[in-house]
């Protein structure tokens, strides 16, 4: 079996479903790069959030002409300045904006955009070109280069996304550290590797051992660190709020995790968009506001950067079902306490200059955002991770 297929097929690609016998402990690898306290939180708004109805250019007549039924009226918006306003559901996020904790980067995309949820998500998660198919994620490659333990990147979910999968190192998918620890303590898994497996060659078996050991060691570490930590903040009672609460508890417990990943689903608003997007943006904004304040109260915000993206935006013109179809460029949010350029980082989309399909043209490649985070926050040459040298921005 080829190793690429082995990694793709095995459940170990989720970053920790098995453990290895104690005699393999010596195979563990230590991280080359020390922990400097910097944390990156990545949030995906799954489904393609409508950026035009999130950050609204309310003095642009073309916005209202193209969206006669779903445009947000001027008197409902939360004004950011004399021309731009937030969706009314983002009031808690505006609190962060007013404090200077939020930078809005507009027109983010990539050349020859793909409008498939799955393919565009893969492009964003692997940092590939639109015609390039990579088997590792950009955070996974970051783990590879640093020979990092699995706990250095955690997705608060039941399965691991491609973003956190590397060639030799994977992150972990964890929703409950206690259950994760107990799972890996079961005798069944100790016995698993003692059985002879004739379907794997030596190279694959070595990868299997290393992944299992890494998962076990990480489970022990995470459990011991986090078992006495519980956030007192009043998070919203939904899945996304629970994810952020878990991340906050991991951070305040002193866990040396550098990257966390979570997601809020449901943004594929082809029909009846108004109410649906309003609820989702409310969930995002309320949860994020509690999360940021929780970190602030625990003196953890200075060293935390939060990056929110969606795999694409929506079409400029509404469809016949009071919704919007798959589009291209979109806005991304950067949240942090010491941003170099808070507020609107760059101009909003030019609705007079669309592509041949009537979609927004990107002006910032999403890999420039990644390059900035890698160079200036995670302190590693972005070309080593992105397989190309991208220019950096000035939000941090």
β-sheet bridge partners, residue 102:
335
pLDDT tens sequence across 283-333: 999 999 999 999 999 999 999 999 999 999 999 999 999 999 999 999 999
Average pLDDT over residues 378-389: 96
Residue 44 pLDDT exceeds 50? yes
pLDDT for position 145: 96
Residue 114 pLDDT exceeds 80? yes
pLDDT for position 17: 40
pLDDT for position 184: 63
Q: Is 72 left (phi over 0), alpha (psi -120 to 50) or beta?
A: beta
Quick check: 310 and 117 in contact, CB under 8 A? no
pLDDT for position 345: 98
Residue 191 pLDDT exceeds 70? no
Per-residue pLDDT band for 220 (boundaries 50, 70, 90) equals confident
Q: Give the Cα separation of 188 and 198 in Å (integer).
A: 19
β-sheet bridge partners, residue 84:
57
What dihedral do alpha carbons 286, 289, 292, 295 form, nearest 10°?
-70
pLDDT tens sequence across 90-112: 999 999 999 999 999 999 999 99
pLDDT tens sequence across 350-363: 999 999 999 999 99
What are the structural domain ranges in the chain?
Answer: 31-148+227-386
Average pLDDT over residues 128-140: 98
| Nearest to 311, CA basis, from 335, 280, 332 | 332
* Mean of pLDDT over the chain: 88
pLDDT for position 203: 52
β-sheet bridge partners, residue 109:
365
Vertex 251 angle, CA 250 and 255, to 5°: 70
Average pLDDT over residues 158-179: 92
Per-residue pLDDT band for 227 (boundaries 50, 70, 90) equals confident
Residue 189 pLDDT exceeds 90? no
pLDDT for position 275: 97
Per-residue pLDDT band for 208 (boundaries 50, 70, 90) equals low
Per-residue pLDDT band for 211 (boundaries 50, 70, 90) equals low
pLDDT for position 204: 54
66-75, 185-194, 337-346: which has the minimum mean pLDDT? 185-194
Rounded to the nearest 10 degrees, what angle do helices 202-226 and 239-252 cross at? Answer: 80
Helix (H, G, I), strand (E, B) or coil at 384: helix
The CATH number for 31-148+227-386, chosen from 3.40.50, 3.40.720, 3.40.1350, 3.30.420, is 3.40.720
Average pLDDT over residues 384-388: 96
Q: What does 201-244 look like in DSSP terms, one character per residue?
A: -HHHHHHHHHHHHHHHHHHHHHHHHHTT----S---SSHHHHHH
Average pLDDT over residues 20-31: 39
Per-residue pLDDT band for 215 (boundaries 50, 70, 90) equals confident
Cα Rg of the chain, angstroms: 22
pLDDT for position 186: 64
pLDDT for position 24: 36
pLDDT tens sequence across 61-92: 999 999 999 999 999 999 999 999 999 999 99
Q: Give the Cα separation of 28 and 149 in Å (integer).
A: 9
pLDDT for position 371: 98
């Amino acid at each position: 079996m080829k190793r690429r297929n082995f990694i793709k097929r095995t459940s170990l690609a989720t970053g920790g479903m098995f453990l290895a016998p104690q005699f393999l402990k010596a195979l563990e690898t230590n991280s080359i790069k020390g922990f400097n306290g910097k944390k990156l939180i990545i949030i995906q708004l799954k489904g393609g959030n409508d950026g035009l109805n999130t950050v609204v250019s309310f003095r642009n007549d073309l916005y209202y002409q193209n969206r006669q039924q779903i445009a947000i009226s001027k008197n409902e918006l939360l004004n950011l300045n004399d021309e731009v306003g937030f969706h009314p559901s983002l009031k808690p996020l505006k609190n962060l904006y007013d404090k200077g904790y939020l930078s809005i980067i507009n027109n983010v995309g990539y050349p020859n955009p793909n409008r498939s949820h799955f393919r565009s998500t893969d492009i964003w998660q692997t940092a590939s070109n639109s015609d390039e198919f990579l088997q590792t994620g950009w955070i996974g490659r970051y783990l590879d280069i640093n020979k990092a333990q699995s706990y250095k990147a955690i997705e608060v979910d039941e399965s691991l996304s491609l973003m956190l999968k590397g060639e030799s190192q994977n992150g972990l998918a964890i929703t409950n550290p206690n259950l994760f620890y107990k799972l890996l303590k079961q005798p069944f898994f100790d016995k698993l590797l003692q059985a002879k497996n004739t379907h794997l060659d030596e190279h694959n078996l070595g990868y299997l051992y290393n992944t299992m050991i890494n998962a076990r060691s990480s489970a022990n570490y995470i459990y011991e660190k986090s078992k006495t930590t519980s956030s007192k903040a009043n998070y919203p009672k939904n899945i996304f709020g629970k994810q952020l609460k878990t991340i906050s508890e991991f951070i305040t417990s002193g866990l040396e995790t550098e990257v966390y990943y979570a997601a809020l689903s449901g943004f594929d608003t082809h029909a009846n968009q108004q109410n649906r997007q309003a609820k989702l943006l409310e969930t995002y904004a309320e949860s994020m506001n509690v999360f940021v304040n929780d970190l602030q109260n625990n003196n953890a915000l200075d060293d935390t950067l939060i990056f929110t993206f969606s795999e694409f935006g929506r079409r400029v013109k509404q469809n016949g079902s009071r919704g919007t179809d798959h589009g291209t460029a979109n806005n991304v949010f950067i949240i942090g306490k010491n941003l170099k350029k808070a507020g609107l980082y760059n101009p909003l989309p030019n609705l007079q200059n669309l592509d041949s399909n009537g979609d927004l043209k990107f002006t910032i490649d999403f890999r420039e955002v990644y390059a900035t985070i890698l160079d200036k926050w995670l302190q590693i040459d972005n070309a080593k991770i992105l397989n190309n040298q991208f220019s950096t921005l000035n939000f941090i």
